[in-house]
A and B are shown apart, each in its own frame.
Chain A
């Protein structure tokens, strides 16, 4: 693994189903983030984690949950998917919090909820 990876690359999901998007980084970064990106809108922060064992809510956390059991992994779960969660999801990591530390992004997961 080099950098930050996400799985799956894309997914079509029926409304009401549960889905976990996976994110793994091998850079030993403390901070990790989940964003969604929708056409015409900026990246919006869903949840973040400043260090293993801690998580926080971003701008649009409703309908999503995260966990940070270790440094490398930061899965995002949609408990019961709805069509408005159709989006491209990016996971990112940085050495520390956002203060001056660039964020490195995974390749993204394109999710369609029908």
Chain B
């Protein structure tokens, strides 16, 4: 079967750095997305990785290792507004998105 694993919940302090991990086992791989979802709202796009390595976009970076079936989202200089769920999703061999259950990130002052 297809499986995407993320921690259920993480807590971090305002101003700090947090890394949210995602491991996947899917039938094929054609890319990986990270989305942010605030409570009661729709998911919004953060990043897309298809090649190994780090993609940096402002305070957010995303890393991919295809050989390890592993990605992480790195959030720097955390702000209270970063409190949200972070969803990892993998494009499988049929070009369908397989979603993880998401990681709820709680930011404390």
Q: Which residues of A contact B (CB under 8 A)?
A: 35, 40-45, 48, 58, 90, 97-100, 102-108
Please tell me if the beta carbons of B45 and A103 are within 8 angstroms of each other in the complex. yes
A108: B residues at CB distance < 8 A:
41-42
Q: How far, in whole Å, are A91 and B97 apart by their CA atoms in the complex?
A: 14
- Tell yes or no: B63 within 8 A of A by CB: no
Complex: how many Å from CA A60 to CA B30? 22
Stretch at the interface among B13-21, B52-60, B71-79, B98-106: B98-106
Across the interface, which residues of B come within 8 angstroms of A45, CB to CB?
96-97
Name the B residues within 8 Å of A105 (CB-CB): 42-44
Task: Flag if B48 contacts A100 (CB, 8 Å).
Answer: yes
A99, B41: Cβ atoms under 8 Å?
no
- Are B95 and A97 in contact, with the CB atoms below 8 A? yes
B52 CB to closest chain A CB (Å) equals 16
The 8 A CB mask of B85-103 against A (1 = contact, 0 = none) is 0010101000111111110
The A-B contact count (CB < 8 A) is 53
Once the chains are docked, how many angstroms separate the CA of A108 from the CA of B30?
27
Contact of B99 among A42, A102, A104 (CB under 8 A): A42
Neighbouring A residues of B45 by C-beta, 8 Å: 102-104
- Interface size, chain B (Cβ < 8 Å): 22
In the complex the two chains form, is A42's CB within 8 Å of B4's CB?
yes
Q: Does B84 contact A (CB under 8 A)?
A: no
Please state if A43 and B43 are interface contacts (CB–CB under 8 Å): yes
- Indicate whether A90 sits within 8 Å of B43 (C-beta atoms), given known contacts A42-B102, A99-B30, A102-B48: yes
A-B contact pairs, 26 of them (CB 8 A): A35-B99, A42-B87, A42-B89, A42-B99, A42-B100, A42-B101, A43-B43, A43-B87, A43-B97, A43-B99, A44-B99, A45-B97, A90-B42, A98-B31, A98-B91, A98-B95, A98-B96, A98-B97, A99-B30, A99-B31, A100-B30, A100-B50, A102-B33, A103-B97, A108-B41, A108-B42
Whole-angstrom CA separation of A108 from B87 in the bound complex: 16
A111 to B39 alpha-carbon distance, docked (Å)? 16
